[in-house]
Amino acid sequence: MTTPTFEFPKFTIDQTACDDLPTLWVRTDDELYALIDEIDDSDVVALDTEFIKRTTYYPILALIQINTGSAIYLIDAPKLDLTEFWQALAEVPTMVWYACGEDLGIFYLLAKCPPLTNVFDVQIGVAYLSGKLQAGYSQAINEILGIEIDKGESQSNWLARPLSYEQETYAANDVRYLLKLYEAVKAELSNRKILECVIEDSRHYARELHAIQNQPDETLYLDLLAPIYNRRQLGVLQQLTIWREALARATNEPRSFIIGKQALREIVQEMPDSIKLLARTTINRAVLRRYGDEIVRIISQVKSANEDALPPLPPPTYHSKAKPFKNDLNDVINTYSQSHHIPSNLLLKNRWINDLLLLVAYDGLVEELPPELLGYRKSLITNDILPALRPYKAHILEVLNTPEYNH
């Protein structure tokens, strides 16, 4: 079997046609409604956003760039009611983005819509072709289309008006070539018969981003877990993240301005129940003066809480350098990668391996796995990966039940 080569495909496009697309500002309601009408008649549009979130909890949307194929529109977001605009985008057959994580976070925040099902993230498509998971937009259009763009304005003040010529050019270029890049990537994916895999993963990503944006405060602590925490420490972590989130929202400050991750870890590990002990952590001194008593009160409350009021321990995590199943697992993944022309690092991400090991150890159900594993990957999981892991069930159980790692 010939080993597939994962590299950037090369395409030649009519760059002049892209460069000649007019750049139009949308500053009035009439201009916005005209654009919405154009979106309603479109099968595919390409988008990007510029926003500021350095000193605020809520991102400030400053600019939306959209390429409809006939023009590039720069939408003066702070001036307009975008309710109908978001609705029109949610209904267009295909919305094209590049590395849409932060963009969709803002979309969901402002649109208050269900998970989007029309998102195509070209960065995911580029990863399927090249094996490079984090290839940037400028790298992709340079490698694939042979076009270079200047990214020097990425940290600009996008709320400034008027924008400088350099800012406007940068903003327009972020979508100027995106439709052509999408068409090239889509054509190559279709040629390799893996287009549906990318569409599937784009939809999974859009659903995941919606879940993150709408995560209840009570579960935020789950993103900060450490296997060494006991239930009482988890209780402190949960209550402090709930308190921090409410305060950040009320004061419109980033979470890290209140308690950074390092200070939060120190507090959870040390459980300080006095200002003096709290001061020994790396918590911000201004926060200590303003909120120290409140933080100590939260810790003391959790320390005296009944056991049944504390959060449950999370499922155990596999920790072992041995990994006797590693070669067998790699063989399965590499075989599938070669036969289906999909990079191995996209087939089974590290965050899914523990789910599979738990399923094997405790005879779980395949249907309980993350949804990303239940689409095109399901046949790989059920026919190849699980049979390769099951002979190691005893070892996996032994590691999971080792007191050192079982909290």
DSSP of 114-160, one letter per residue? PPPS-EEEHHHHHHHHHS-TT--HHHHIIIII------TTTTS-TT-
pLDDT in tens, 59-112: 999 999 999 999 999 999 999 999 999 999 999 999 999 999 999 999 999 999
Q: Which of 69, 79, 70 is nearest to 31 (CA)?
A: 79
pLDDT at 54: 87
- Confidence tier at 6 by pLDDT (50, 70, 90): very high
pLDDT at 319: 87
pLDDT at 1: 47
pLDDT at 240: 98
- Confidence tier at 242 by pLDDT (50, 70, 90): very high
In eight-state DSSP terms, residue 59 is -
- Confidence tier at 402 by pLDDT (50, 70, 90): confident
Count of C-beta atoms within a 10 Å radius of residue 148: 9
Considering Cα of 167, then 170, then 174, then 179, what sign does the dihedral take? Answer: positive
pLDDT in tens, 42-69: 999 999 999 998 899 999 999 999 999 9
* CA 344 to each of CA 117, 146, 262, 301: distance values in angstroms, whole numbers, following the listed order: 25, 27, 34, 48
Share of the chain above pLDDT 70, in %: 98
pLDDT at 407: 43
Dmax over Cα atoms in the chain, in whole Å? Answer: 70
Residue 204 and residue 121 in contact, taking contact as beta carbons nearer than 8 Å: no
- Confidence tier at 2 by pLDDT (50, 70, 90): low
pLDDT in tens, 338-374: 999 999 999 998 889 999 999 999 999 999 999 999 9
Q: Treating both helix axes as pointing N-terminal to C-terminal, what angle do 122-130 and 178-191 enclose, rounded to 10 degrees?
A: 40
The structure's pTM equals 0.93
* CA 59 to each of CA 50, 101, 104, 121, 171: distance values in angstroms, whole numbers, following the listed order: 10, 13, 12, 21, 18
Lowest mean pLDDT among 167-171, 286-290, 397-401, 402-406: 402-406
Q: What is the DSSP code string of 154-205?
A: TTS-TT-SSPPHHHHHHHHHHHHTHHHHHHHHHHHHHHTT-HHHHHHHHHHH
Whether cis (ω within 30° of 0) applies to the bond prior to 162 is: yes
Average pLDDT, integer, range 113-137: 97
Between CA 334 and CA 342 the distance in angstroms is: 9
Share of the chain above pLDDT 90, in %: 92
Average pLDDT, integer, range 277-284: 96
Q: Is residue 152 over pLDDT 90?
A: no
* CA 197 to each of CA 101, 192, 305: distance values in angstroms, whole numbers, following the listed order: 19, 11, 48
Q: Is residue 404 over pLDDT 70?
A: no
Counting Cβ atoms within 10 Å, is residue 272 exposed (0-12), middle (13-18) or buried (19+)? buried
Which helix (H) or strand (E) covers residue 26, if one does? strand 23-26
Q: Is residue 37 over pLDDT 90?
A: yes
pLDDT in tens, 292-327: 999 999 999 999 999 999 999 999 999 889 899 999
* Domains within the chain, CATH numbers bracketed: 15-214 (3.30.420.10), 217-309 (1.10.150.80), 325-405 (no CATH)
Q: For all residues of the chain together, what is the average pLDDT?
A: 95
The residues, any chain, with a CB within 8 Å of residue 399's CB and separated by 6 or more, are: 318, 319, 320, 405
